[in-house]
Amino acid sequence: MLELRDIHTHYGLSHVLQGVSLHVNAGEVVGLFGRNGVGKTTVMKTIAGWVAPSRGTVQLEGQAIGGVPPERICRRGIGFVPEDRRIFPGLTVQENLVLGFMQQPGRSRGEDRRSLDAIYTRFPRLSERRGQMGTTLSGGEQQMLAMARVLVGAPRLLLIDEPTEGLAPKIVDEIFGLMEGLRRDGIPILLVEQNMHRAIGIVQRFYVLERGAVVLEGDGGNTSHREALVRQLAV
């Protein structure tokens, strides 16, 4: 579904990603773990087109997308839920969601309406607050809105960056429940998450980044691989 080969990404003179290679298969949830500042968010931004790689290839279903403008990558089916959520100020919950329709131009009003109804079924709390300003929601509700706004455009692949950072334990449970539902629905996900012990329960495979490079990969269901992951991040 998605493949990165020998990706190098710079911010000015700073060489952030140094030969990252990874892949996500159809219907698979893949975790991307590592300490703060090792390049995880840069991987996501490079895939989404927010940052252009200086070397290497990014492919979506065999088609090169490295360096393609982010709006075109979005319309090819990659939905990005960034760490800072980017809820639009001055717009209600529903107005924020309607902007997600731009990911799939050309759909009929009926298709958009059915998609919105499905989102409100998946996110009942947003349905209750559809007329409320998006920026007045709690942190957990804003995270739900950021995820829902991407999902309303029916992406074929999701990039989710730190969805539970700073949230209360009860809301963390809800967010992981939502991601578990997405996994059951077969939506492939590349997930960056600091809460490794929770995330390892929903990922099929994982990668660990250190200093801009992959230093470990493994099977989320394999006990020895999970132990190696804990040892790597505990060093």
Query: Using one digit for the tens of pLDDT, what is the confidence trace for 117-168?
Result: 999 999 999 999 999 999 999 999 999 999 999 999 889 999 999 999 988 9
The distance from CA 154 to its chain's CA centroid, rounded to whole angstroms, is: 14
Q: What percent of the chain has pLDDT over 90?
A: 82
Query: Using one digit for the tens of pLDDT, what is the confidence trace for 52-107?
Result: 999 999 999 999 999 899 999 999 999 999 998 999 999 999 999 998 888 777 77
Could you tell me which of 179, 118, 188 has the C-alpha nearest to residue 153?
Answer: 118
Could you tell me which of 194, 198, 231, 199 has the C-alpha nearest to residue 216?
Answer: 231
* pLDDT of the residue at 234: 79
Confidence (pTM) = 0.92
> How many angstroms separate the CA atoms of 77 and 157, rounded?
6
Residue 135's φ and ψ, nearest 5 degrees, are -75, -10
**Which string of b and e fits 133-169 if b means at least 16 CB within 10 Å?**
bbeebeebbbbbbbbbbbbbbbbebbbbbbbbeebee
Could you tell me which of 121, 88, 176 has the C-alpha nearest to residue 113?
Answer: 121
Provide Rg for the chain, Cα atoms. Answer: 17
pLDDT above 80 for 206: yes
Sorted by where each begins, the domain ranges of the chain are 2-77+156-234, 89-152
CATH code: domain 2-77+156-234 is: 3.40.50.300
CA max distance for the chain: 53
**pLDDT band, very low/low/confident/very high, at 235 (cuts 50, 70, 90):** low
